[in-house]
Every structure is written in C-alpha cells, then in structure tokens.
Amino acid sequence: MTSRLRKYLFTLAVPVAAIGMGVLWLPKLTGGNTTGVVYETAEVTRGPIRRVVSTSGPVRALVTVQVGSQLSGQIRRVFADYNTEVKEGDVLAELDTKTFEARVAQAKADLAAAKAQLANQEAAVLKAEAVLRQAERTIERQQKLADRGIAAQSALDNAIRDAEVARADLAIAKAQVENAKAVIAQREAQLEQAEIDLERAVIRSPINGTVISRTVDIGQTVAASFQAPELFQIAQDLRRIRIEAQVNEADVGVISEGNPATFTVDAYPERTFYGRVTQVRLAATELENVVTYTVIVEASNEDRKLYPGMTANLQIVTAERDNVLRLPNSALRFKPRGEAAGGSSGNPADRVAQMAERLKVELNLTNEQVATLEEAFRQSMARARAERPQSEAFGRSQRSGGDQSGAGRFMKRIEQIVEPMLTEDQRPLFEAWKQQRNSSRAATVWVLGPNGQLEQRFVRLGLGDDQFTEIVGGNVEAGDQVVIRAREVRS
C-alpha cells in the first residue's frame, strides 16, 4: 500500500445516512497491514422520553353479573338473547310454574286448616272453662251439705277431684290453642316460601346492562343444588371497560394509580385507545416460577368498539419528559480499549475544573468564588492522597458500602467546601443541585476530540426509555457526537 493511500485513510471520515450518526476511521500500521478503528457516533439531541411498561390483558366490562336460577325446573320461556339491552327487573326467562303454583295452593290450604284447628282449640278452652266453673259450684254445694251432715265426705272429695281435673283440662286446652297459633305461623311461613319460589321461577335482570352470554333454551331443565346454575351474563355498562393486565414483578414497582396507558386490539390495529391505571392489585399470580400482578386499566368505550374478551396490547406510561437533553443508550454501553482513550478529561485536575465550571453555571458563582473553589478542591484532593496509604486496607474492606464509596466521600467534600462560600441567593440553588444529584446517577460517555482521540465526559442521568436516556447534568451539549461503538478494520 502506498504512503499516499495511507495518508488518505488516516484523514478519511465516512458519513452515515442517519440523523446524528457518523463513523471515523483511525488507521494503525502493523507489520505492513493497515488496521483501522472505525468509531460510530450519534448526536446528543433534545426530545421527549417516555418510560413505558408493555403488557397485555383481556378486555372486561366494569361490572359483569352472572344470573342463575335458585330453583330446579324446566325452562318454559326465554325473553332475552345475546346483545339484548335490559333494565333492572326485566324478565329474562321463566321456569314452568305449575309445580310452584301447586305448592302455593297447598300452603294456603294448610294455613286454612291450621286456622280452623285454632278455632276448635279456642272452643275447647271455653268448654273447659265452663266445666271448671260447674265443678267449683259442685264443691260449694257439697261443702254446705257436708257441713249440715246431709252429704257424705266422699261426695265432697269427688267434687274436689272433678274440679282439679277440670282445671287440668283447661290448661291443656289453652296449651293446644298456643300450639295451634304456632302451627298457623308455621303455615304462614310455608306459604310465604312457596310464594317466593313461585316468584323466583320468573328470572329477572338484577341490573341495567347488556346480555353478553346465554346458556339456556326453552325446554331445558336446570338443576339447582349447592350452586345456582348460570343462565345469563350481563355486562352493566359497555360504555366503559377495564383491562386486566398481567405485569411482571420486575416492572410492577414503577406502576401506580393514575398512570396513563395506550393500547390497541387486533380488531382495530390502526386505532389507538387511551386509558388510565385505576388499581394495582396486591395479590400475586405465580405460573411456572413467573410472578405477575394484575393491573387494572379503565378506558372509555362510548362507540362500543371494544368487546369483552378482546386482547389489549398495552403501553403503560410510568414517566415522561418533554424537550430534554438526551443521548442514545448505546453510548452508555460503549467502553474503549485502554490505548484508544486520550484520558485527558479523566485526570483529577480536569475533574476539578469540570466540577468548578459546572457549579459556576448552576449556582451563579462569581469568578472569585470559582478561584477559591478550585483551590479548595486541589487542597482537599492533596490531603486525600496523603491520607490514602494510611487507610488503604480499611478502605478496600469498606468500598462496597455505598455511602462510604469514593464518589460519596468526594461529594461530601464538595458540599463541605462549597456551602460556606455561598450567598443567601445561591443557597436554594445549591439545595436544588444536591437534590438533583441524589435523584440521578453518574455515567461516562466518550466523544472524539479534534486529534481523533477519545475524550471522556462525565454526565448525570435521569429518566430513560428503550432508546434514549435523559442527561440532567454534565459537560455534554445538544449537537455533541458521542461514540456508540467501535470496530477494527484490517486492509
């Protein structure tokens, strides 16, 4: 290969037909062969970010009532069919009522007989009272005769015995009256039950709605034992529906009531429907070691295009931002080889300068404050380097402790250095800056410098979706080209 060609390859930049995407060829000479590193880049842009959870579930009516029969019998008439609009109290079907009418007639006859028996028992009470009065008068006569010596003592004793028997007969008659009253109450209850059964032979709609299922025909026999057989299903109001979506346990934590959702159904693939999460059920469902939770999404169905049982493919929006600075997720996954990076942006001095510049912009620091800040940073880092050998072993054992990490200690030092020098107007800005850092995470991206070397940039990340991640802080701007991948090409 000629030196002229090598020089041409060294400076060649190949554009890629995609927005914000490009490649750069960086050749190396190895043993007579040219090895080129091609870096693909993407542009940092502004735009929306939507974090969504994708799932699916069946469409259901808000309220579905299963209408059954509490009685056994033969269906004589059916008044409702599929899709019939019904109101509360409308007759849906009717059992053969002859048996139930006969039971009502029998119960009425039994009640009449019980009332007649009560009348007889009340008459028996009157008779027993008359007999008792007669026995008491006989005792009085026999007592007078015995006092005059005319009647024998045995006659008086017989009169007393007859009176006692009459009292017992009266008590029995009164008890039989109470028994007859109880029998009447029993017969009345039996009549009421027979009338209820006769009324239940006519099956009515318990709600206003639409019949979505019918499982009986005229002449069919239904048998009600421990559970009422289902005859109809009625959807209360199909102008609003709900979707029972199954969400994986890894995603359910970001879903809350009120989250908006969009969904489609296979019947109308070009149409998007809109709903909102109304409930996240706590009961888990486990199937083949996969745990899911039911999330209820309600939606309007005024035109009744959505039918119960349809499968809805949902996108539940758990968070969204508009017009935010964002970069492709592939830029966060890119890690260069050691010799490819210039490393000029990753040394401590550059980090100090970058942090000071960022604080200057975000906190409106004066030039004097920035100079003081940089000097304090340098002194703090010098002390940290001096103390490191003494605590190296302990530091290694505690490095996984989160708050005790190097990044955590560095941020603590920044807060201790910055806070005393702030004015009253700058303190609220500093509190907002700290809150933003606590709610975001740090990351590193790489850009190509003017000399073709990789330069490291530090960013703070916010919301992310499948394609982009929000940048909430750092030294990248819209229009910057970040590296997303690299590959070697030999020629």
Give tens-digit pLDDT for 131-169.
888 888 887 777 777 777 776 777 777 778 888 888 898
pLDDT band at 456 (very low <50, low <70, confident <90, very high): confident
Query: What residues contact residue 250 under an 8 Å CB cut-off, 6+ apart?
Result: none
| Inter-CA distances, 315 with 48, 55, 274, 298, Å | 16, 7, 10, 13
pLDDT for position 266: 96
H or E element in which residue 242 lies: strand 240-248
pLDDT for position 30: 46
Give the tokens for residue 36: 């080129």
Name the burial class of residue 245, with classes exposed (0-12), middle (13-18) and buried (19+) by CB atoms within 10 angstroms of its CB. buried
Neighbours of 13 (CB within 10 A): 11
pLDDT for position 400: 37
| Higher pLDDT, residue 420 or 188 | 188
Range of weakest confidence among 135-139, 169-173, 387-391: 387-391
* 203 contacts 231 by C-beta, under 8 angstroms: yes
* 59-95 confidence digits (pLDDT tens): 999 999 999 998 999 999 999 999 999 999 999 999 9
Model confidence at 402: pLDDT above 50: no
pLDDT band at 440 (very low <50, low <70, confident <90, very high): low
pLDDT for position 462: 86
Query: What residues contact residue 98 under an 8 Å CB cut-off, 6+ apart?
Result: none
| Higher pLDDT, residue 57 or 142 | 57
| Inter-CA distances, 231 with 90, 213, 414, Å | 15, 8, 73
Model confidence at 10: pLDDT above 50: no
* Residues 397-425, mean pLDDT to the nearest whole number: 63
pLDDT band at 38 (very low <50, low <70, confident <90, very high): confident
pLDDT band at 397 (very low <50, low <70, confident <90, very high): very low
Report d(CA 112, CA 124) in Å as an integer.
Answer: 19
Give the tokens for residue 240: 């609003």
* 40 contacts 488 by C-beta, under 8 angstroms: no
| Inter-CA distances, 335 with 36, 465, 473, Å | 18, 21, 20
pLDDT band at 259 (very low <50, low <70, confident <90, very high): very high
Q: What is the DSSP string of 108-139?
A: HHHHHHHHHHHHHHHHHHHHHHHHHHHHHHHH
487 φ, ψ (degrees, to nearest 5): -150, 150
pLDDT band at 27 (very low <50, low <70, confident <90, very high): low
- Express as a percent the part of the chain with pLDDT over 70: 81
pLDDT for position 338: 58
pLDDT for position 107: 94
* Residues belonging to the chain: 491
pLDDT for position 407: 54
* 318 contacts 53 by C-beta, under 8 angstroms: yes
Give the tokens for residue 81: 């069919």
pLDDT for position 393: 42
pLDDT for position 35: 61
- Mind listing the domains of the chain with CATH numbers? 3-43+334-490 (no CATH), 52-62+237-324 (2.40.30.170), 64-96+202-234 (2.40.50.100), 98-200 (1.10.287.620)
| Higher pLDDT, residue 345 or 467 | 467
Report d(CA 13, CA 3) in Å as an integer.
Answer: 18
Query: What residues contact residue 297 under an 8 Å CB cut-off, 6+ apart?
Result: 57, 242, 243, 245, 261, 263, 275, 276, 277, 278, 312, 314, 316
pLDDT for position 359: 75
Model confidence at 318: pLDDT above 80: yes
Model confidence at 45: pLDDT above 90: yes
Model confidence at 410: pLDDT above 80: no
| Higher pLDDT, residue 158 or 7 | 158
Range of weakest confidence among 18-32, 118-132, 201-215, 267-281: 18-32
Model confidence at 6: pLDDT above 60: no
pLDDT for position 283: 94
Residue 420 per-residue DSSP state: G
The residue written with tokens 């009164």 in the block is: 174
Range of weakest confidence among 181-190, 279-288, 427-436: 427-436
* 184-218 confidence digits (pLDDT tens): 999 999 999 999 999 999 999 999 999 999 999 99
Range of weakest confidence among 4-18, 305-319, 345-359: 4-18
pLDDT for position 409: 65
pLDDT for position 368: 82
Model confidence at 7: pLDDT above 80: no
* 204 contacts 91 by C-beta, under 8 angstroms: yes
pLDDT for position 354: 66
pLDDT for position 377: 76
pLDDT for position 350: 61
What rounded mean pLDDT belongs to the chain?
81
